[in-house]
């Protein structure tokens, strides 16, 4: 008799069960599908209008293409006009990248150091300082525009109109939320790892870069996604603190539609192009975004 035993067949997951063993909620699935469709309708209309002629946009709604898709004046001239016309959206796209990338990296870099200190270091008034930083989040950024214009303008240090002014403002406005998010996430990390590094003689600098930062990468990537989308879609700060030669893509979109309605056919194409890079960033970091928002929400 053979002593080999036949491996037991793997138990198949029932179609009505999720990967973690919980039963599927068809009500939630239906609601989710409906919400996705509702949120996608404006984007679909934007894409369709960006490929229609000016006359078609003015005389009929975008939904009419489904009744007669071959009778429409489809054209790609709108996208050509966005880059070659007076708007110069290509320059605005590069200005948006120059404004958004440093304004995303700087607050995360400083806030990660602060979150490490609030989590793993002991110093006087630590909890008080953290409460003050969290309390700053309730202050609307609009109330700071006038004093910041005075500080950064010609009567102050004179950097208004340059990208560095936008970097400083977004760093200051984004740091409280970043410190709060990263501190909550780092508090869920095993403290024994930090204690072991301390026993082995590692400095705080080495502990942060070699242990804490890699383990906190989901939260860092999650906030990087939010911060990048916020800075990229920002209108007020870019309009008030950047010179016209440094105007971002969002500012150019706001100025694209003239008082008489001219440029209406270019508005949809420009708006869709302004969405392209944020969509790629979001889908590229989506896995980290979900993990970062949920992992630090509950301790235990």
Superfamily of domain 85-295: MetI-like (1.10.3720.10)
pLDDT one-digit tens code per residue, 142-199: 888 888 888 888 888 888 889 999 999 999 898 998 999 899 889 888 888 888 888 8
Give span(s): CATH 1.10.3720.10, the chain.
85-295
Give percent above pLDDT 70 in the chain: 85
Cα–Cα distance, 89 to 80 (Å, whole number): 10
Mean pLDDT of 244-271: 77
What was the pLDDT predicted at 168? Answer: 92
| Per-residue pLDDT band at 299 (split at 50, 70, 90) | very low
Residue 263, pLDDT above cutoff 70: no
Mean pLDDT of 130-135: 89
What φ, ψ does residue 111 adopt, rounded to 5°? -70, -30
Exposure b/e, 67-102, CB count within 10 A at least 16 = b: eeeeebeebeebbebbbeeebebebbbebbeebbeb
pLDDT one-digit tens code per residue, 96-122: 999 999 999 999 999 999 999 999 988
Q: Do 228 and 281 contact (CB within 8 A), yes or no? A: yes
């Amino acid at each position: 008799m053979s002593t080999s035993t036949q491996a037991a067949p793997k138990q198949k997951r029932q179609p009505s069960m999720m990967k973690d063993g919980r039963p599927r909620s068809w009500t939630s699935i239906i609601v989710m599908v409906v919400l996705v469709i509702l949120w996608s309708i404006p984007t679909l209309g934007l894409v369709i209008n960006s490929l229609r002629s000016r006359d078609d946009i003015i005389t009929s709604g975008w939904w009419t293409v489904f009744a007669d898709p071959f009778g429409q004046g489809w054209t790609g001239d709108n996208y050509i006009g966005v880059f070659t016309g007076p708007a110069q959206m290509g320059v605005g796209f590069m200005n948006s990248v120059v404004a958004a990338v440093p304004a995303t990296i700087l607050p995360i870099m400083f806030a990660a150091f602060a979150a490490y200190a609030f989590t793993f270091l002991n110093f006087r008034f630590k909890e008080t300082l953290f409460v003050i930083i969290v309390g700053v989040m309730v202050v609307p950024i609009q109330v700071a525009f006038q004093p910041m214009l005075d500080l950064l303008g010609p009567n102050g240090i004179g950097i208004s109109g340059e990208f560095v002014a936008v970097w400083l403002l977004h760093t200051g406005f984004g740091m409280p939320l970043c410190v709060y998010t990263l501190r909550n996430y780092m508090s869920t990390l095993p403290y024994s790892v930090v204690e072991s590094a301390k026993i082995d003689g590692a400095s705080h600098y080495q502990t942060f870069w070699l242990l804490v930062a890699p383990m906190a990468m989901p939260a860092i990537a999650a906030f990087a996604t939010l911060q990048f989308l916020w800075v990229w879609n920002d209108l007020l700060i870019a309009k008030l603190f950047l010179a016209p030669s440094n105007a971002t893509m969002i500012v150019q979109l706001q100025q694209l539609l003239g008082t008489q309605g001219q440029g209406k056919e270019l508005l949809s194409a420009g708006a869709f192009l302004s969405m392209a890079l944020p969509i790629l960033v979001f889908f590229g970091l989506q896995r980290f975004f979900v993990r970062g928002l949920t992992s630090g929400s509950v301790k235990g």
